[in-house]
Amino acid sequence: MKKEFASRVSLTSKSGLNAIYPSQDPEMISFTGGFPDATLFPSKELADSFQIAISNQHSPLQYQVGEESIDLREKIASLLNNDGTVTNPELIMMTQGAQQGLDLVAKLVINKGDGLVVEGPTYIGALAAFDAYEPNYYSVSMENDGMNLTELKRILIEKSVKLIYTIPDFQNPTGVVMSLEKRKQLIALANRYDVLILEDAPYRWLRYEGKSLPTLKSLDTQDRVIQLGSFSKILAPALRLGWLTASGEIFSRLKELKAGADLETSNLMIQTVNAYLSKYSLESHLTKLQKSYRIKKNAMMTAMRNYMPENISYTDPKGGFFTWITAPQNYDLDNMQIMSFKPAFHVMVIPSTNLFPDKAHKNGARVSFSSVSLSQIDSGIKRLGNCLSDSYQKQSI
Amino acid sequence: MKKEFASRVSLTSKSGLNAIYPSQDPEMISFTGGFPDATLFPSKELADSFQIAISNQHSPLQYQVGEESIDLREKIASLLNNDGTVTNPELIMMTQGAQQGLDLVAKLVINKGDGLVVEGPTYIGALAAFDAYEPNYYSVSMENDGMNLTELKRILIEKSVKLIYTIPDFQNPTGVVMSLEKRKQLIALANRYDVLILEDAPYRWLRYEGKSLPTLKSLDTQDRVIQLGSFSKILAPALRLGWLTASGEIFSRLKELKAGADLETSNLMIQTVNAYLSKYSLESHLTKLQKSYRIKKNAMMTAMRNYMPENISYTDPKGGFFTWITAPQNYDLDNMQIMSFKPAFHVMVIPSTNLFPDKAHKNGARVSFSSVSLSQIDSGIKRLGNCLSDSYQKQSI
């Protein structure tokens, strides 16, 4: 039988997303998943909110057909407005997590071969979403204060680019925050070279130190920033509830693409989260999350200082779920994970290979501290450090 | 600012999906929506099932990451096996309603310009999903026993076709069931011309008369049928829970596309429906639905007999949500809806225009009986009949 798939499938079948899948090894300590800590889910409050939602007389089990409840969007708009991003409920649409926003925005702008700038490294799931539209990727190096704008400018001058994808706050996978100066410059460059920006902000409200910087959307004066947000990290992933905010024709075309993709987001989940936000304080919940993740982040930094050999550098994130380790250029952490981290040391990370579109960077890895316990952080990073020290010594001999 | 969208957007912005949106007119009787009857939702049972799900110790609020619960898929596999379709839980994946299955299958096989056969008329949301992949549509006429296979064969001989999309049971929008003979011939044609079949079966278990015919998937011996199902019509749309079953590389590639599109379907909704199916009898619920919809369908047929002028024909569906009216060739029901049905008679249907890819068929309309009351069926069809009689008389003068 003919197995003639669309050409996009040759890309989408190599995303490496399965690197996140759990291991069957009972001794394994895994730093792979970008999962929230399940012990922090507000289960009782969500169960209560669900009962409120399903008892609502406005048929929460029915289709919404173009009349997606305004209540939740009003609350999201007010959260965004309080965060400095001017928007309104009419310019917010609900998505299946922020992930669906990535798919829809690429669907909106990318023809096969169109230029798409991503940070290198970037979110593995974003590449999985974008791959389906067969873009021409341009990867811009990440620095300690965000993407390298000199590289970006060169690309914008030389190439035809339609979209820049960035995670300005606690970037996945590096944990880096883009500086205010770079945020302003990025907007200026997008204006000058007439490019859209996709600002992905799922971790923004999980800051453990310092003060928030303005969102890219708040600095945008030309309606060229599309911003994504999500309840996955701050309430629970299984709600599959994210949102997208944009303006004008971009927004109306995205709504049409959403309808074609899955008609609509679950009214039941929308009403549940609306009831949660009406009855409970998201702010107190965020404070609780920040407190707990701050402790984990600090434990991760302590473990890194204690156990990492001197040739390994790592980032010190001010929020989010990830730190990023960088080994010397000649290290292939993908290979080491298969040959040594997993089988001999029972520890797993996400090697950098699949986090760059060209899959050519082998010496970095994402290390997540969000869903592991404090003792797992200590033991797991000790294992990772020992394993890396071993190879360091072998190389030094 | 540059508003250069991907070329697909020129199609997706014209789906006409908004024709389904409700009217603000308080006197309106609308036969547009393919909604289930909200009074039949098992709200209490689903509320109870949700409480069971959220109390589950296996973190129903967390990501599933490649380990989508097997429990619900086992139950679906057994429902499908009892229905004569051989599959197994490993070959079932959950989707955001069957709608997402339409998007993913088109994403899998359609390159811009590839041949895609649809029934004419077909499901408006299917066209909205497919449009994003810019297929070359071939529309095959619907007859009383399913699509015209002589037309299909001619297309398969003359054109390069990758996929045939069909709703064999209580087709949306005509209500027609494909005969067993045509089912067998369709499989034979697909085998001979090496084409995939997408079998969309959301209404299959809502049969009000007669016996079920074998699914296309059950007749398939070459793994070329992808079948979609959904809990939207038989439990509730807001669960956003559908499924897809396929085999081999088709299935594994679809799983990758699903991950890129939205990572995964809500674990919470999966666990809720699993709890529902464990504790309650879907069979009794289906019996209740069938009984109630049978009464509505019969009321619709009575109203059609009573009020439709003689030049209007209509189908007598044995299940599902829709009947289909056909007016003489020179009628433009889209125009009549705007000029007369809505403003003067306060009644709405879905005119055929947007249900054909070429938007050139104006004299048909989908009339849904599922979510209207018995008295609305009588009054609404009377209005529609009066309006059509008016124009009939005008034309006859």
- Residue-wise pLDDT tens digits, B334-392: 999 999 999 999 999 999 999 999 999 999 999 999 999 999 999 999 999 999 998 76
Closest CA to B82 of B238, B221, B214: B214
Nearest CB partner across the interface for A12, out of B2, B61, B256: B256
Within 8 A of A267 by CB-CB distance, chain B residues are: 237-238
Structure-block tokens of residue A315: 């980032």
* Position with higher pLDDT, A23 vs B332: B332
C-alpha gyration radius of chain A: 21
Nearest CB partner across the interface for A238, out of B3, B8, B268: B268
Structure-block tokens of residue A190: 């997008």
pLDDT value for A390: 84
* Torsion angles phi and psi, residue A285, rounded to 5: -65, -45
Is residue A330 helix, strand or coil?
coil
Which residues of chain B form CATH 3.40.640.10? 44-279
Within 8 A of B108 by CB-CB distance, chain A residues are: 5-6, 9
Q: Name the pairing type of β-strands B92-95 and B115-120.
A: unpaired
Question: Does residue A20 carry a pLDDT above 80?
Answer: no
Question: Does residue B397 carry a pLDDT above 50?
Answer: no
Give mean pLDDT, residues A326-332: 95
CB atoms within 10 A of CB B82: 9
Question: Does residue A142 carry a pLDDT above 90?
Answer: yes
Give mean pLDDT, residues A352-362: 94
Structure-block tokens of residue A338: 């298969």
Question: Does residue A1 carry a pLDDT above 60?
Answer: no
Question: Does residue B187 carry a pLDDT above 90?
Answer: yes
C-alpha dist (Å) from residue B23 to A76, B39, B259, B331, B333: 27, 20, 36, 23, 18
pLDDT value for B396: 52
**Residue A132 and residue B107: Cβ atoms within 8 Å?**
yes
pLDDT value for A392: 65
| CB A72, CB A277: distance < 8 Å | yes
Residue-level length of chain A: 397
Give mean pLDDT, residues A352-374: 96
Structure-block tokens of residue A255: 């709504």
pLDDT value for B1: 45
Q: In what order do the strands lie in the sheet with A136-143?
A: A92-95, A242-245, A225-230, A196-200, A161-166, A115-120, A136-143, A146-147
The type of residue at A253 is: R
Is residue A375 helix, strand or coil?
helix
**Residue A17 and residue B250: Cβ atoms within 8 Å?**
no
**Residue B132 and residue A257: Cβ atoms within 8 Å?**
yes
Q: What is the dotted CATH code of the domain comprising B44-279?
A: 3.40.640.10
Q: CA angle, corner B295, sides to B293 and B297, nearest 5?
A: 65
Mean of the per-residue pLDDT values for chain A?
A: 94
Give mean pLDDT, residues B29-55: 94
Structure-block tokens of residue A29: 């300590």
Residues β-bridged to residue A139: A118
Choose the weakest-confidence range: A250-264, B64-78, B104-118: B64-78
d(CA B252, nearest CA chain A) in Å? 9
Residue-level length of chain B: 397
Within 8 A of A68 by CB-CB distance, chain B residues are: none
**Residue B132 and residue A260: Cβ atoms within 8 Å?**
yes
d(CA A110, nearest CA chain B) in Å? 5
Give dist(CA B263, CA B281) in Å, integer. Answer: 31
pLDDT band at A2 (very low <50, low <70, confident <90, very high): low
C-alpha dist (Å) from residue B78 to A143, B72, B83, B267, B384: 53, 10, 8, 20, 43
* Best of B196, B240, B274 to mutate (most A CBs within 10 Å, chain A): B240
Q: CA angle, corner B121, sides to B117 and B126, nearest 5?
A: 60
| CB B203, CB B321: distance < 8 Å | yes
Question: Does residue A325 carry a pLDDT above 80?
Answer: yes
- Residue-wise pLDDT tens digits, B227-259: 999 999 999 999 999 999 999 999 999 999 999
Choose the weakest-confidence range: A284-293, B48-57, B293-302, B371-380: B48-57
Question: Does residue A3 carry a pLDDT above 70?
Answer: no
Question: Does residue A11 carry a pLDDT above 80?
Answer: yes
Give dist(CA B291, CA B298) in Å, integer. Answer: 11
Residues 6+ apart with CB under 8 A from A9: B108, B253, B257
The type of residue at A228 is: L
Is residue A304 helix, strand or coil?
helix
Q: Which residue in this structure is represented by tokens 């928007």? A: A87
**Residue B194 and residue A2: Cβ atoms within 8 Å?**
yes
Nearest CA in chain B to A53: B47
Structure-block tokens of residue A242: 């994210």
SS3 of A91-156: HEEEECHHHHHHHHHHHHHCCCCCEEEEEECCCHHHHHHHHCCCCEEEEEEEECCEECHHHHHHHH
Which residues of chain A form CATH 3.40.640.10? 43-279
Mean of the per-residue pLDDT values for chain B?
A: 94
Looking at domain A43-279, its CATH architecture is: 3-Layer(aba) Sandwich (3.40)
- Residue-wise pLDDT tens digits, A214-235: 999 999 999 999 999 999 999 9
Is residue A285 helix, strand or coil?
helix
* Position with higher pLDDT, B4 vs A209: A209
Q: Which long-range contacts (CB under 8 A, 24 or more apart) does B135-138 make?
A: B135/B106, B135/B110, B135/B163, B137/B357, B137/B358
**Residue B66 and residue A1: Cβ atoms within 8 Å?**
no
The type of residue at B223 is: D
- What percentage of chain A exceeds 70 in pLDDT? 97
Question: Does residue A396 carry a pLDDT above 60?
Answer: no
| CB A347, CB A325: distance < 8 Å | no
Structure-block tokens of residue A157: 């001058």
Q: Which residue in this structure is represented by tokens 């036969």? A: B31
Give dist(CA B317, CA B169) in Å, integer. Answer: 10
Which residues of chain B form CATH 3.90.1150.10? 10-41+284-396
DSSP state of A7: T
Q: How many interchain CB pairs under 8 A, A with B? A: 251
Give dist(CA A60, CA A58) in Å, integer. Answer: 6
CB atoms within 10 A of CB B243: 24
Give mean pLDDT, residues A195-216: 98
* Best of A266, A274, A348, A368 to mutate (most B CBs within 10 Å, chain B): A266
Give dist(CA A241, CA A98) in Å, integer. Answer: 8
| CB A194, CB A148: distance < 8 Å | no
* Best of B31, B256, B269, B370 to mutate (most A CBs within 10 Å, chain A): B256
Closest CA to A105 of A208, A9, A11, A195: A195
pLDDT value for A18: 73
Choose the weakest-confidence range: A40-49, B14-23, B292-301: B14-23
Closest CA to B293 of B167, B205, B215, B226: B205
Structure-block tokens of residue A92: 């917010």
- CATH 3.90.1150.10 is held by the domain B10-41+284-396: yes
Within 8 A of B239 by CB-CB distance, chain A residues are: 61, 266, 268
Give mean pLDDT, residues B98-120: 97
SS3 of chain B: CCCCCCCCHHHHCCCCHHHHCCCCCCCCEECCCCCCCHHHCCHHHHHHHHHHHHCCCCCCCCCCCCCCCHHHHHHHHHHHHHCCCCCCHHHEEEECHHHHHHHHHHHHHCCCCCEEEEEECCCHHHHHHHHCCCCEEEEEEEECCEECHHHHHHHHHHCCEEEEEECCCCCCCCCCCCCHHHHHHHHHHHHHHCCEEEEECCCCCCECCCCCCCCHHHHCCCCCEEEEEECCCCCCHHHCCEEEECCHHHHHHHHHHHHHHHCCCCHHHHHHHHHHHHHCCHHHHHHHHHHHHHHHHHHHHHHHHHHCCCCCEECCCCECCEEEEECCCCCCHHHHHHHHHHHHHCEECEEHHHHCCCCCCCCEEEEECCCCCHHHHHHHHHHHHHHHHHHHHHHHC
C-alpha dist (Å) from residue B120 to B63, B164, B380: 40, 12, 26
| CATH class (in words) of the domain with range A9-41+284-396 | alpha beta
